[in-house]
Structure 1
Amino acid sequence: MPGVESDLHSIGELARASGLTVSALRFYDSAGVLEPALVDPVTGYRWYADEQIAPARLVAGLRRVGMPVPEIAAAVRAEPAAVHRMLDAHLRRLSDGLADAHREISRLRALVDPVPSSNTTLLLSPAELAAAVDAVRFAVGADPELPVLCGVLLDVEPDGVRLVATDRHRLALARAGANVDGPPVRVLVGVDLVDQIRALLDAADARPVRLTVSGADLRVAVAGRTLAGTALPHDFPDYRRLLREALGPQPATYRIPLDVAALRAALTDPTAPTVARAHLGEPLAVTVLGLDDRGGLRLLPAADLTAADLPAADLSHDPLAGPGQTDVLRVGVNGGFLLDALHAAGGPQLVLELDGPITPLAVRRPGDPDTFSVLMPIRL
């Protein structure tokens, strides 16, 4: 094909220009990431155009930083702004992976060269501890195949303890102040022991709860009784990373005040509207949340539920809509999970925070940044 090939580059020339090997170029051709401009039908030689050199260099760089092949394929075809977003997301994944690796290496060092465990003792208010347990207990997992989620994480800090629980569909956090003697420690407490401790807590009792952690051993002195147990031998998920992924670094787009009594009544009404969806092969009744004309939360009535399945609609009636928006704020949730979150948070007024129909929802107490729960939405 004289006259044509002279304007093109052979696979070896592109390899030298891009930093990719010839075998890598063949792979990215077969994967549909970087296809040659021309393939000689007789010899099978691949030929590449000048304008493919820059994409090939991009592929080489993305490969060096470990970006998955499907994302490399998308980046090659994306606009620059989208590529920057993909790079930011990949960098966050790398940072999280490095943090996970640091924790795992620390655990391995402890296995190789164990050091004597030191005690950490906390003195806590029974009322504060009871409130914290109540705020997270509903989110404890019950799947025997995921024992790491069948407990409450106690993340001891210099001046208190953070309680965390998740079952993958919801995540709950709360904090209790404490006088702490000893180093910070993280310990996963089985739900049975958590329930035993909670049963002994009396908000009217002024005597502090004494919690002692020594390695995997736990001892709790409360109300004149002592409970002893052993921490679960599992590494609880990095809840801080989960929060970053779920809620993001920016404030939520929507902050909707909740009339808890009215919302609870609506959710428990036998005639409350729902839409049928399948989850893990089983039917699930999904509650659809929307906004009323004052920007408050409402359950969408049956007449609106068919429209809720539409990809877009006029948002001119939505007082929180920004200019040019076309999607109505319609969010599918498990109504029972939302009821649990309302009950756990307590108080007549709460705030629901979210960014859109497929982003997690946060249920918060006004003025209390340490106690809240996160619910995963259900795609409509």
Structure 2
Amino acid sequence: MPNSELMPIGVFAQRSGLTSSALRFYADSGLLPPAEVDPVSGYRHYGADQVARATALRRLREIAMPLAEVGTVLDAEAGEAARLVDEHVAGVVGDAAAARQKAAVIKSVLGGDRPGLLIAALKGPVLADAVDHVLTATATAYGPGTAVLTGVHVEAGHEAITLTATDRFRLSTRSLVPARTAEQTWVGTIDGDDLRAAVTEIRHSALVRIEAVPHGIRLRMGQREDRHCRLLYGEFPDHRLMLASLGEVTTRATVAKDLLLRALEEHPGECIALHISGHGVDVRSPNDEHPGISLLATVTGEALQIRFETTTLYPAVSTAIGPDVMLDLRGHDRPVTIRSADRGDLTTLAMPVRAEYSS
């Protein structure tokens, strides 16, 4: 290779984001040998065509991939390399979840592993379904103070336990009657990922005792191992005030859940418009550039057109219980309440989008 195409190790380090010492290490390990080594001075030179490999190597190490796996990924075809990266990330995520769970157990043991305060006892399948329903309204943390939006707010009383989640675009709340009276009322926001990881075991447990312990809750599931779910600190949005301030329902539509979901699945755009009138519910494009899908519905009140992001409306409809959903609407710019036509213990809100954001 002509010397004009080579660069000394210092320049190559700046181009690749690797330190000179790291480059020496990777050269000695055989992952990234220099293009040339001066036989007299021992100076190492790299080619411009090695920058991409060096950058990929650095990024793989940043996600804690072992050296042996890094070499396999770098030498693999694109499809196989992507599969190996996904496999590694899945392992890291699994290890992190296991570490969080063990840490919760350790903290409980350090606290003396005292019996927790019983806040509810529920049938496992019932609790698992409720957790699945409300988790659809959780968010991904995207800034300071948003951690509580990734969790499920739990309010346990003597008569009921209520699970609520919101990402400020959706809100889902479900109230359950406990199988056993609670010892004391309790309120807290529980990590959504911890609950999500425990759902399968919850579902296969006849009875789940939910106990308040330091830093979270403990799920006791009979013959199964206890699960600990972490408490999230921060102020959860006042969802009761949000529900109380919705305003009067001006339009109500009852439509088959499966038909509405199918219409949302078949719609090609990211945003949809619902045209609701005495003729039924039409699922259309906001600007009518695609043919609409007409659904039979029982409608009372005013005719209305309202727009939603599909990623907001679809999960809200999919978690409804039973064959029919009831849409309570208050205007084109107000949240819609989505309820099961025959079950009132699950309520979901979905925020519409303004016309200028749906074009």
**Same fold per TM (> 0.5)?**
yes
Counterpart-to-counterpart distance in 1, 2:200 and 2:142: 24
Q: What corresponds to 2:62 in structure 1?
A: none
Percent identical? 24
CA 1:365 to 1:239, structure 2 compared with 1: closer, same or farther past 3 Å? same
CA 1:301 to 1:165, structure 2 compared with 1: closer, same or farther past 3 Å? closer
* 1:180 paired to 2:173: no
Structure 2: which amino acid aligns with 1:231? L
CA 1:213 to 1:331, structure 2 compared with 1: closer, same or farther past 3 Å? same
Contact 1:256 1:353 in 2 (8 A): yes
TM-score using structure 1 length: 0.56
Counterpart-to-counterpart distance in 2, 1:338 and 1:132: 19
Q: What corresponds to 1:289 in structure 2?
A: 274
Aligned to 1:194, the other structure's residue is in SS state: helix
Q: What corresponds to 2:256 in structure 1?
A: 259
Contact 2:272 2:307 in 1 (8 A): yes
TM superposition shift of 1:209: 0.3
Q: Runs in 1 of length 4+ with deviation above 4 angstroms?
A: 301-306, 319-322
Q: What corresponds to 2:147 in structure 1?
A: 147
Contact 2:271 2:286 in 1 (8 A): no
Matches for 1:311-326 after TM superposition, within 5 Å: 320=300
Structure 1: which amino acid aligns with 2:237? P
* 1:298 paired to 2:315: no
CA 1:374 to 1:200, structure 2 compared with 1: closer, same or farther past 3 Å? same
Q: What corresponds to 1:62 in structure 2?
A: none
Q: What corresponds to 2:106 in structure 1?
A: none
TM superposition shift of 1:320: 4.9
Unaligned runs of 5+ in 2: 1-114, 291-298
Aligned to 2:174, the other structure's residue is in SS state: strand
Structure 2: which amino acid aligns with 1:369? G
TM superposition shift of 1:302: 7.5
Q: What corresponds to 1:17 in structure 2?
A: none
CA-based RMSD: 2.6
Q: What corresponds to 1:378 in structure 2?
A: 353
Counterpart-to-counterpart distance in 1, 2:185 and 2:309: 36
Counterpart-to-counterpart distance in 2, 1:153 and 1:144: 18
Aligned to 1:231, the other structure's residue is in SS state: strand
Q: What corresponds to 2:171 in structure 1?
A: 171
Matches for 1:48-59 after TM superposition, within 5 Å: none
Contact 2:134 2:174 in 1 (8 A): yes
Matches for 1:19-168 after TM superposition, within 5 Å: 119-145=117-143, 146-168=146-168
Q: What corresponds to 1:359 in structure 2?
A: 334
Counterpart-to-counterpart distance in 1, 2:339 and 2:288: 27
Contact 1:140 1:149 in 2 (8 A): yes
TM superposition shift of 1:293: 4.7
Counterpart-to-counterpart distance in 2, 1:349 and 1:130: 21
Structure 1: which amino acid aligns with 2:209? R
Aligned to 1:350, the other structure's residue is in SS state: strand
CA 1:320 to 1:239, structure 2 compared with 1: closer, same or farther past 3 Å? closer
TM-score using structure 2 length: 0.59
* 1:209 paired to 2:208: yes
Aligned to 1:257, the other structure's residue is in SS state: strand
Structure 2: which amino acid aligns with 1:357? H
Aligned to 1:158, the other structure's residue is in SS state: coil
Structure 2: which amino acid aligns with 1:290? H
Unaligned runs of 5+ in 1: 1-116, 275-284, 307-318, 323-327
CA 1:243 to 1:302, structure 2 compared with 1: closer, same or farther past 3 Å? closer
Counterpart-to-counterpart distance in 1, 2:324 and 2:263: 15
Aligned length: 230
Q: What corresponds to 1:239 in structure 2?
A: 239
TM superposition shift of 1:369: 2.5
Q: What corresponds to 2:318 in structure 1?
A: 343
CA 1:226 to 1:218, structure 2 compared with 1: closer, same or farther past 3 Å? same
Contact 2:119 2:185 in 1 (8 A): no
Q: Deviations over 1:22-76 (max 9, x none)?
A: xxxxxxxxxxxxxxxxxxxxxxxxxxxxxxxxxxxxxxxxxxxxxxxxxxxxxxx
TM superposition shift of 1:273: 6.2
TM superposition shift of 1:236: 1.2
Counterpart-to-counterpart distance in 2, 1:118 and 1:320: 49
TM superposition shift of 1:368: 2.6
CA 1:219 to 1:362, structure 2 compared with 1: closer, same or farther past 3 Å? same
Counterpart-to-counterpart distance in 1, 2:123 and 2:149: 26
